[in-house]
Structure formats: structure tokens, C-alpha cells
A and B are shown apart, each in its own frame.
Chain A
Amino acid sequence: MARKGLWLINSVILLCLLACIGTIYSLTSKAPNFMLSCSSELFNHQAGEADHNHYLLVDLVSKDGLAQINYRYFDLSGNSAGTLAMTGKVNRIDTQRQIYDISVTTKQEYLGSKNVYKPEHYEYLSYVSGINLNKNGMHSLTIQVLERDEAKDYAVVLFQPSNTVCGCRLVN
């Protein structure tokens, strides 16, 4: 009994230690890095005004658990029409469901070139993110991968809570 008991105790301690090592590893391991680049054509059906067409480039970079999202607006001539730069951290990655949970903590806005019309989407995004940041000091954002093809370097993602679907290039 004594020897069997000791073996049992040793096994339990070993299992506990292994569990501890696994837990510490998972708690300290860094989130995987990723980079998405999404290009969108913008249209604005402003009542009583001619449509102002712009492009939007969204770059989303996650490295070592930190996230940076840049929304860069351009008119069709390539002039900058404004930039929204957000930084935050990656809270959690659900690899099974392919969902990235990001907390945006800072936001900076840069106006575009002079005499360039500010796109309606820029105003909209600035307003919405501003409200969320002002309320809690943190803008929670989730990115769900709807479709992904590593071979062709693309992913269709859904941003929440804005419910924005977007096709993006996978960089690196």
C-alpha cells in the first residue's frame, strides 16, 4: 500500500505540476501576429449634394498582443482626406471560431489635405468611435473571420459592433 500510495501521490503531484506549467505557458504566451489590409470604395448619397467618392484603406496590425488600426481616407485623385489612427490591445483570440477581440484605447485624428472634402464615412467613424471611447475610455472591437484563404492571401471579415463586412488582403 505504502509504495502504491507514494506512486499515486507522485503521479498526482506530477500531473499538477504539468497542469501548472501548461497554464503558466498559456497565460504568458503572446497572441499570434497578423496584418490585414482592406481597401474600400466609399459612396455618399448626401441629400441635395453630388456624391463625393472616396477610397478608404484600413490597415489592421496586431503584434505581441498590441493592435493598431489605421483608417486612411483618400479622394479619387489620391489626396489624403483624413486619417483615424487607433491603438489598443488584443484581449483574446478564439482560434476555433476565428474571432479577435480587441480593445481600442487611444484614437488620433489627422485632417487631410486642404480643400479636400472630408468623407461622410470619416465623420461617421469619428463620431461612433468617439462616443464609445468617451463613455468607457475603451472601444471594444471584435473581428470575425467569415472566409479565409491563406493560399490566396485574403480574408472576408466582419467588424462588430459596427456590423461592417469587409474583404481584406492578408499581409505576411
Chain B
Amino acid sequence: MQLGHCRFDSDKGELINQESGLVWSLPRAELHVLRLLVEYQGKVVAKPILESGHKDGSHLSSASVARAIFTLRSFLGPQHETLIETVKGQGYLLRHHRARKETRYQRRRFTIKSLPVLLVVISLFSVLLLSLWWFNRLGPSISPTMPLSIDTVTLDSGQQVEMILYSPSNTNNELLIAQGQLLTQSLLHCHETVWNKVFLSLSHDKQVLNITFRGDYFGQSIIRNIKISDLRQPKRFINPEWLKQVSICDSSPVQIASSHQSWRR
């Protein structure tokens, strides 16, 4: 007979706690009361019946029954003490709720036991997702290209122009540096200019020179991009004839536009 986490052996008169393994040989009063409660399980057992002797004709006092109920409840523990219910003014009742209680208890035990496993699964899943996020965020790293050099050109007017050269490598940049120097020399011939920054880059196969001029004109941003292809050897991207065409000293977009117009003719 199962009572919560205890098993009641009516023949031996023992109540065995299956969790702790504790065996309680029930004293006469407790055994008598429990046997009657089990016999009439689900029904109220009146106090006079509990007080009356069962087989041996002995008689229990009301206090002995109350003490027996108390000790039985204590042994069942706080989780299952409510199995023995007091019905006020009538007696005691052994409830039929053992199975439900047990299932709940077992479920809780199962939950407690499986909790670490659940935690490990959740943690692993989280680590997996975080790794995915990390990989997605970092991936194969793209390192930014840093300027090869930044030089400041000071014009006669005192105006300063930054000459910034970009190359993905630090080797074999003689051509780019030489073109930068040529452009610097030509800028030095300007008295003043709208440009305050010049970006220079040479394509990886050294076929195309890219120049970007950036400046401000009455608070407005001005940009001019030039791409020069030269298949000749040696390369002469920036040469005096070309410089005459593009008029890099132009100090206003109006002049730049007009220079284009005349150039188009």
C-alpha cells in the first residue's frame, strides 16, 4: 500500500520511507489507526471506531488517536501529511489522492533530475547560436586599406592641400609615388584652389590611375574624379599636356565647367 513516498506493509506493521529507506515499526496505536484508515480509504472513519479496539478488544483514548494521527502525518512528511484529513466533528479520512500526489511528486523529481540536462542543452544551443552570430559578425576579417602616405602641399597663398595616396601593398609603389609627386608639383603652381584634399590610387595592374579631388565651395561639397588609362610603357599618366587639359588649379566649379566647355570644343 503506497502512501505518498511511503509504503505501508500491513502484515509486518511497518511504514517504509522509500526515499530515505527508513523503516518504522508502527506502535500499536498508529498501526491500528492506519489499518482502519486504509480499510476505509476515501471514507470518513469516525473517532469512536478509531478509539475502539480492532481485533484484540483493546481501547484507545481520544488523545492516543490524535497522537497517532500526528505521528503518522509527521512520518509521511509535509508533502503528504494532507493524505490524512481531519473531518471536523466526525473523524479522519485517508484520501484517495495518493496517485495524483505521487505523479506530481514523480514529475517534480523527473523535472529536478532532468533540469541539468535541460540546462546543458540550452547552454549548448546558445553557444552554437552565439558562435554563428560571432562568425557572421567577424567572418573572414576584412582589414581596411590604410593610406600609403599623407603629404601636405602648401600653396603660395598659404592654402594647404592634403595629398593622400592609397595602395593595398607597401611594395612596388614607385609609380604611384612618382605620379603623386608630379601632381604635387603641378599643384604648387596654383596660387589657390578649391580643393583641400586629393586622393590618388593606382589599379593593382598599374593600368589606371584614379584621382579624386575634394573641396568646399561656399559650404557646398565639390568632388572631381579622374581616371586615366595608360597602356604605354613607361607610364605617363600625369604629363604636361594632360595637365593643361584638366586645369587642376581651377578655383571654382564655374571655371571648371567653362574649362570643360572649351575643352569639348
Contacts and interface: CB of A to CB of B under 8 A. Distances in A.
B214 A161 contact: no
Interface in B202-251: 202-205, 207-208, 210-214, 220-221, 223-232, 236-237, 239, 242, 245-246
A19 interface: yes
A171 to B, nearest CB: 14
Q: Is the interface of B mostly helix, strand, loop or mixed?
A: mixed
A1 interface: no
B122 interface: yes
Contacts of A99: 142, 144
A154 B232 CA distance: 34
A17 B122 CA distance: 8
Interface residues of B, number: 54
A124 B221 contact: no
Contact of B221 (A26, A120, A154): A154
Interface in B116-130: 119, 122-123, 125-126, 129-130
B41 interface: no
Interface of B: 115, 119, 122-123, 125-126, 129-130, 132-133, 136-137, 139, 142, 144-145, 166-168, 197, 199-205, 207-208, 210-214, 220-221, 223-232, 236-237, 239, 242, 245-246, 263-264
30 contacts: A16-B126, A19-B130, A20-B129, A26-B133, A43-B242, A44-B229, A44-B230, A45-B229, A45-B230, A45-B239, A46-B229, A53-B263, A76-B264, A92-B142, A120-B229, A124-B207, A154-B221, A156-B212, A160-B145, A160-B168, A161-B168, A161-B204, A163-B168, A163-B202, A163-B204, A164-B201, A165-B212, A166-B225, A167-B199, A167-B224
